[in-house]
Chain A
Amino acid sequence: MSDDSTSTRTHQAGAFDIRNIIGALMGVYGVILALAGLFGDPELEKTGDVNANLWTGLALVVVAVAFLAWARLKPIEVPEEFDRPDDDPTRPAPQRKRPPAQ
């Protein structure tokens, strides 16, 4: 929240900012697809003479760069104090180590 600037005890979300995660996944996909388009069989009879892997790969790289740049330019500030999520007790998964939020 922008008007919480009085309490300056914040830090940036960093690698766990969802935009960085989107950027990372799209970037990995983009590079792999672009390489597949350059060096693999483009299967032009399927796509109607378009190197679809290459173009999709390039488009995904652009999307990835946009997300990473957005996260870099306007980082999300994580306050020191916030409501931590409750662990969902109905799921048969390893439980969170610390006690759930109040």
Chain B
Amino acid sequence: MSSDTLIDASWLDYLLVAIYFGFVLGIGVMARRSVSDSIDFFLSGRSLPAWVTGLAFISANLGAVEIMGMSANGAEIGLPTVHYFWVGAVPAMLFLGVVMMPFYYGSKVRSVPEFMFKRFGTGAHLVNAISFAVAQLLIAGVNLALLAGIVSALLGWPTWIALIVAAVIVLSYITLGGLSAAIYNEVLQFFVIVAALTPLTLIGLNRVGGWSGLTDKITEAASSAPASAEVASAEQQLNSWPGQALAGFDSGLLSVIGIVFGLGFVLSFGYWTTNFVEVQRAMASNSISAARKTPIIGAFPKMFIPFIVIVPGMISAVLVKEMIDLKGGGTPSGGASGDVTYNDALLLLMRDVLPNGLLGLAIAGLLAAFMAGMAANISAFNTVFSYDLWQRYIRKDHSDDYYLRIGRLATIAATVIAIFTAQIAMGYDNVMNYLQTLFGFFNAPLFATFILGMFWKRMTPTAGWVGLVFGTLSAIAVDRLAAAGVIDLPGQGAAFLAASTAFVVDIALSVVVSLVTKPKPASELKGLVYSETPREDLVDPDEAAMPWYRRTIPLAGIALAMVVVLNFAF
């Protein structure tokens, strides 16, 4: 490297970053002080325009996973990454809007542990609360590792100092109230990220000679790469189906099944339908109809995000010297965490094609996304730890101040722990592999228990916790077998298999255990099980009078048609 830092930022870039933080912290402070009724109105979420809740809904998810993980994946395996959007997100978002949302809205459940407690009682609640808390700490580590990567790329500091500095930044963001204006931040963040990544994509395409230049270069790179580099063929990198490079199966048919069942069904439905960080955006709406439309409206921009996150990754792999070297089987040095990994794809492309100015805009967008993402993880951990674990199981009936103090300690402890879980995340050269593995451990069994418990009233409290425990254990077992080399699936195939195994084990055990244990009486299941919930709680009587473009089902139909067209086009 000619300079000491990976990215050469000027005062102009720092100015743009500072303006963003000025906006976010300024809104946070105003929200804390309640200087205007209008702020309360927006934060309460009541009767917010649907496009705002829709954007907040996908922006809550447009963090580290989407930006760095998807561009890393795009650099490594190319177009099949779009399955995370067109198979792995949009159908589940539509399902959430059409089927699940009326049920959540009607049952007034506000968190997953709360549903577990009401539906299954203590056992499932305890298991779920612990696994949720652990998952948040591990995912906070991913966000922190990426944030530290940017800090170290900007300032050239060693990783461990960057980690501590990044942790301090997040703690001050939480403390200064940036999170209390979450809905403002998320919508602003969405625009900043789009404003930064769109020029990055266009300039990158301009540099490689347009789309045809990109495909030529990928074809050339794939054919000249040595076999030891195990690069996917150009054919696989440039077509979304059958996506062997993503699923890791040699057979096209198995690959399609793996993607549709593992990613499209278990992982994605598990993620989108049980992730209350996102679902709560929709729950704040003023009617069932608006709550249902939130994820469906979110699905429209979601469809087009791959073009500004995956395509830059693909460009990076053929334009940036270090990435070409990495994909050719080399181990170039100089990345954000020592050696260059696929996670650096986006940062390196920014370094090579963005002039000072746009560079600052891009840095602001990335910092904002990872910081907000980690802050959300820490805050979710905090809530579950203080109230679902500490208050319910360890110290009951203390004062509000007491739990507030516990919450503060939990925030600081979680931030410190995240510094260590970040080390685990840094061990993966494609952070997407790690995240999908975590989702397999935590979300897949949860989704199985959740959906079975919702639709089968015979399912018993014992089955609730047994399914969760053994589902998670079976996913961990598959992951360890894959790590030991017993199961050989490159790409994210092992994570898909672990998730599918967890789902199947959870369902099977839950059914068996339910048949030999005693169910809850039907009277306690109203609002928790589909068949015991009155139909009129599930529909919005006003919706039939709206024009078609404001009704849930026609909107969902259009989104579905568009995503099918996209699947055929690429």
Contact = CB atoms under 8 A, between A and B. Distances in A.
A16 B382 contact: no
Contacts of A47: 203, 206-207, 353-355
B88 interface: no
Nearest to B183: A18
Contact of B42 (A16, A48, A94): A16
Given A33-B358, A85-B44, A97-B33, A25 B16 contact: no
Given A47-B355, A90-B407, A93-B32, A33 B361 contact: yes
Nearest to A101: B44
Interface string B371-408: 00000000100110011000000000000100110011
Given A92-B408, A97-B34, A50 B191 contact: no
Contacts of B361: 29, 33, 56
A29 B203 contact: no
Contacts of B207: 47-48
B45 interface: yes
Contacts, number: 164
Nearest to B381: A90
Contact of A98 (B34, B176, B206): B34
A65 interface: no
Contacts of B383: 88, 90
A29 B32 contact: no
B20 interface: yes
B195 interface: yes
Interface in B246-302: 286
Contact of B355 (A22, A46, A88): A46
Nearest to A84: B40
A1 B47 contact: yes
Interface residues of B, number: 64
Interface in B45-93: 45-47, 49, 52
Interface string A6-36: 0000010111111001101110110011001
Nearest to B33: A97
B187 interface: yes
How extensive is the interface on chain A, given as a class? 35 or more
B541 to A, nearest CB: 13
B188 interface: yes
B195 A29 contact: yes
B174 A92 contact: yes
A55 B206 CA distance: 14
B357 A28 contact: no
Interface in A30-55: 32-33, 36-37, 40-43, 46-48, 50, 52-53, 55
B286 A1 contact: yes
Contacts of B439: none
Interface in A52-97: 52-53, 55-56, 60, 63, 76, 78-79, 82-85, 87-94, 96-97
Contacts of A32: 12, 15-16, 19, 357
A25 B146 CA distance: 25
A83 to B, nearest CB: 5
B37 interface: yes
B15 A90 contact: no
B355 A83 contact: no
A2 to B, nearest CB: 10
Contact of B188 (A25, A50, A91): A25
A24 B361 CA distance: 15
Interface in B185-199: 187-188, 191-192, 195, 199
Contact of A56 (B32, B179, B199, B404): B199
B386 A46 contact: no
Interface in B324-358: 352-358
Contacts of B192: 25, 29
B548 to A, nearest CB: 18
A63 B191 CA distance: 10
Given A28-B19, A43-B356, A52-B358, A88 B379 contact: yes
Given A25-B23, A37-B357, A17 B38 contact: yes
In the A-B complex, the 8 residue pairs with the smallest Cβ-Cβ separation, listed nearest first, are A16-B38, A43-B355, A92-B408, A36-B357, A13-B38, A90-B407, A53-B357, A85-B44
9 contacts: A26-B191, A56-B199, A63-B195, A78-B38, A83-B44, A83-B46, A84-B44, A89-B404, A98-B34
Interface of B: 12, 15-16, 19-20, 23, 27, 30, 32-34, 36-47, 49, 52, 174-177, 179-180, 183-184, 187-188, 191-192, 195, 199, 203, 206-207, 286, 352-358, 361, 379, 382-383, 386-387, 400, 403-404, 407-408, 410-412
